[in-house]
Amino acid sequence: MRAYLKIVFCFFCVFFFIFFYFLQNSFSAYLSINPKVEPYSLNWCIITALKRNLTLKEKKLSVLESQKDVTIQFKKMLPTISTKYSYVGLKNVNVINIMGRDIAVSSHDNYDWQIIISQPIFEAGALLNNYKAAKIKKRITELELTSLKNQIIRDVKIAYFKLLMAKKILEERKSAVKRLRSHLIDAKSLFEVGLLDKNDLLASKVALSQAIQDEIKASHDVMLLRSQLNLLLRRELTAPLYIKDSFIIPERVLSFSRALSMAVRNRPELKAAKLAIKKAELLLDIARSNYLPHINLNAIYDRKGITPDLSDNPYGQHESEEVSVVATWNLWSWGADKDRCQKASYFLSQARINYKVIYNNISIEVQRALLKQKEALNAYKVAKESLQQAKENFDINQEKFREKLVSNTDVLDAQDLLVKARTRYFKALADISIATSQLDYAIGKAYQ
């Protein structure tokens, strides 16, 4: 009896072990298939896009490259140390005749080794200006990086709000289908008791079919806009993307003068254009420096010998040290120096013109963004009021239809008016959010 109980106990233990094992695996598989997904915020999308954007990574490398150029130009102002080893083979040695006898004063083999320390003393400001120009170029590259970041942030915001609008419209299309199905049930009930014409029943069915088609189109719009946002985030185009409901409604509207002053102060493109003028002025000074002499200070250690190891030089001085100041002045180069100066002056004129062009373009961009924002704000207020009226109108017509106080056409018209009102409302929310994002970009408002 005890042995039998032991066998039964073991059997149940094994059974429960297998049961709980498969239950755990099934639950884990369910979680993997249906994970709990936290909706992504706008900030998360912006940060992710900035981290993953390949063009941004390339521009960051350009910043590092320009930093190395600054270091190179600085080191050109420091002394340099070089060495030189040479060999000269003479077929006939040099001789002098003393009292009728030829005496050799050189060897067939002549070896020479030098260590040279050179320090530029005067380059007419060319070295210093090259260093300053390199620093300006680095700063311009950093501003280009900031400009690229602002463009990415703007593009992500626009894609985010468009996708959010499309999802809201899809939800409304689904709600419209539910309302029309509920209305069709009421219409069938009235038709069965003879209180509704067949034409009205068919009209309800047609309205439902059209609503289903509109729902399909809205779902396709969501898929396309989701792919666009996924592309900016460098994710798979068809990857699921759940976003938070976060439209932007500005508390106040800036004046044009205030917005333009912010753009002039903040836009990296204008800052870069100003620095480009300074850089062009330095390049002109560098070109003019060729008209003046260049002076170098050199210290040379020289060792000569007749063997490769320079161990001995019986024909002259074995070792020597010298310090020299060398001035080099290019007196004639067929007008090349003048051409360089003219080229640099043209470049300076281009930089000044480019600043004016960028300033004008930004001014128009700010004005356009402000007008779009004001237009979107007015549209939002109208859409909000229209939506409230459309809701009340639909509820009233639906109740009256059940009491046979209004026709089927009145209910369908109220339903169509409600769908259009909600669509305009969500579009107005998206438009005002997009317009605000474009204005933030236009005035150079940094992302926080």
Instruction: Please list, in sequence order, all residues whose beta carbon lies within 8 angstroms of the beta carbon of residue 280, skipping any fewer than 6 positions away.
Output: 344, 347, 348, 350, 351
Domains and CATH numbers, the chain: 123-293+335-448 (1.20.1600.10)
Q: Please tell me the distance from the alpha carbon of residue 427 to that of residue 172, in angstroms, as a whole number.
A: 12
Give 161-175 pLDDT, tens digit per residue.
Answer: 999 999 999 998 888
Strand order in the sheet with 80-89: 80-89, 109-122, 294-305, 319-328
Q: Which residues pair with 325 in a beta bridge?
A: 297
Place of tokens 């030189």: 84
Q: Please tell me the distance from the alpha carbon of residue 121 to that of residue 79, in angstroms, as a whole number.
A: 10
pTM tops 0.85, yes or no: no
pLDDT given at position 93: 74
- Nearest to residue 293, comparing CAs of 60, 120, 89? 120
Could you give the 3-state DSSP secondary structure of residue 267? Answer: coil
- Nearest to residue 355, comparing CAs of 420, 409, 248, 281? 281
Q: Please tell me the distance from the alpha carbon of residue 164 to that of residue 232, in angstroms, as a whole number.
A: 15
Beta carbons within 10 angstroms of residue 257's beta carbon: 8
- Nearest to residue 225, comparing CAs of 430, 418, 425, 50? 430
pLDDT given at position 396: 85
Burial of 283 from C-beta contacts in 10 A (0-12 / 13-18 / 19+)? buried
The ranges of the chain with pLDDT < 70 are: 1-37, 95, 97, 99-100, 102-105, 446-448
443: left (phi > 0), else alpha (psi -120 to 50), else beta? alpha
Give 188-247 pLDDT, tens digit per residue.
Answer: 887 777 777 788 788 888 888 888 998 899 999 999 999 999 999 999 998 888 888 888
pLDDT given at position 99: 67
**Secondary structure (DSSP) of 125-178:** THHHHHHHHHHHHHHHHHHHHHHHHHHHHHHHHHHHHHHHHHHHHHHHHHHHHH
Give the H/E segment covering residue 343.
helix 336-402
**Distance of alpha carbon 244 from the chain centroid:** 23
Please give the structure tokens belonging to residue 327.
Answer: 């001035």
